Amino acid sequence: MATKVFSAAIVGLESELVEVEADVGNAPSAFIIVGLPDKAVEESKERIRSAMKNSGLEFPRPKVTVNLAPADLKKEGPSYDLPIAVSVLATQEAFVWNPEDQRALFVGELSLDGHLRPIPGALSISLLAKRKGFPRIFLPAENAAEANLVPGLEIMPVTTLSELVLHLAGERRIALLDYTHPAPPEDSTSRYDMCYIQGQEHVKRALEIAAAGGHNVLMSGPPGAGKTLLARTLPSILPTLTLEEALEVTRLYSVSGVKPKDSPLLWERPFRAPHHTASGVAVVGGGTIPRPGEISLAHRGILFLDEFPEFGRAVLENLRQPLEDGIVAVSRAAGTIQFPAKFMLIAAMNPCPCGYATDPTHHCLCSVGQVMKYQKRLSGPLLDRIDIHTEVPRLKFEKLADTAVAESSSGIRKRVEQARQRQYARFKGSTILTNAEMSSREVREYCPVSAEIQTILKNAVTTMHLSARGYYRVLKIARTIADLGGEQSITTTHVTEALQYRPKVGE
């Protein structure tokens, strides 16, 4: 007797429907799984045998053949344990299907004692069920809250295999999980706050503009000037994720297997800070089984690269496409998988190898050639994609000893949130959320300028050697500055301030 249950495969960020078929033949005892399974799926045979035995269930003595269809889709990971076990039990007529349970998805890893372990990608699987018209999902209880983020589904949290069999047999029903609309948490306190940073008002202003418009920033200055502290304080002035953004981030973290267990939905903007020795796969993504890298885990948040020139040249150049397009493509023989990567790049660097080229209180030990070689580690095309370039000088004693309290992060965040609301209204109905995401077409539409401003920009293109990309990035920054000021039109003041954040000639 052949039986069939439905499950799901994680492919990149998406889920694909998998049919799990089981058949018991007359041949001597054997357990065969076909359908392009990987090692973890092959090992499920022993987990399923032990789980059934320790749950008081009998495993078939004749030959059992399990087919995972479609056969050309690679099946990876232990999440097929539960659907395979259910399909095998159905061949034994351990229960009689009712229509509601037969039209359901089954996913979950089994432990040897029959308990279910959590799996990655529960949110993607729920979205698949919604898309394919499956009304019900049986999955590990620890994944239930995450799966329940998608409305209109019946989420059945399963703790043990025996509990599921009793439910399928109609002896003891599993309680449905009630849907609750996700709501952002109340403002949480951060250990970092702009009020604790003395001086550096011009850098704080640059970071406020970056936070408001989603712009990339490069900070350069001597060691100890506060670059790292400023970068780590930036999240405190960013608005909370919208529900749409939170679902995107949660889905990425769930598929990657790094989502905190106690957080069904991630509301805080990501802050990722990989070390400069990180490999290209770790930063960009990839691997034998393609997984998101740091740039995708920073989606809708911040990617902080300290000691920017110390990263491998290949790693830095691989940032160029994601910085421009907001996606990263991982190519394999079987095809190309795309992961979202709309992040704010916040980079920090010293001006030279010893770090003191711009520090008036220290003597620089580097030759001109060493400084040039160090700075050439960052290519022109990469630097051109960074909107805001700002110097972070060493503070004088008077500033360090100043006891006056600076503006708090909460005050800055209110202005940032108001600017973001103006952008949400401007780009309503499109996939754009911030000014930094505008293409040249949108810049022409939303950033009209006067003849006087055109003259200023013409001179800047000549004297500052602005590229076409640099020209449009100046207009995006000016648009953000206008949004922060609550102004509809871009003025000369906005453009002249925006030009201050472009790299100077010769840098």
CATH fold for domain 438-507: Helicase, Ruva Protein; domain 3 (1.10.8)
Q: What is the pLDDT of residue 506?
A: 47
| Whether the predicted model's global pTM rises above the 0.75 cut | yes
Span(s) in the chain for CATH 1.10.8.60? 438-507
Nearest alpha carbon to residue 358 among 205, 173, 221, 192: 221
CATH 3.30.230.10 domain extents, the chain: 2-168
CA distance 155 to 210: 40
What pLDDT is stored for residue 262 in this prediction? 86
CATH for 2-168? 3.30.230.10
What is the pairing mode between strands 136-140 and 104-106? Answer: parallel
Residue 104 makes CB contacts below 8 A (sequence gap 6+) with 5, 6, 134, 135, 136, 137, 138, 156
Average pLDDT per block of 10 residues along the chain, 507 residues long: 93 94 88 93 95 95 94 92 96 90 97 97 97 97 96 97 96 91 76 87 97 98 94 95 95 94 92 96 88 96 97 95 93 82 97 93 93 94 96 86 84 97 95 95 96 96 93 97 96 97 70
- The string of DSSP codes covering 188-221 is PP-S--GGGS-S-HHHHHHHHHHHHHT--EEEE-
Tokens coding 482: 């206008």
Domain boundaries for CATH 3.40.50.300 within the chain = 201-429
pLDDT at site 216: 98
Q: What is the pLDDT of residue 187?
A: 66
**CB-based contact 222:354 (threshold 8 Å):** no
CB 305 within 8 A of CB 345: yes
| Nearest in space to 410 (alpha carbons), one of 198, 233, 275 | 233
Q: Where are the beta strands (DSSP E) in 215-358?
A: 217-220, 271-272, 285-286, 291-292, 302-305, 327-332, 335-340, 344-349
Q: Which CATH class is domain 201-429?
A: alpha beta
DSSP character string of 125-143:
HHHHHHHHT--EEEEEGGG
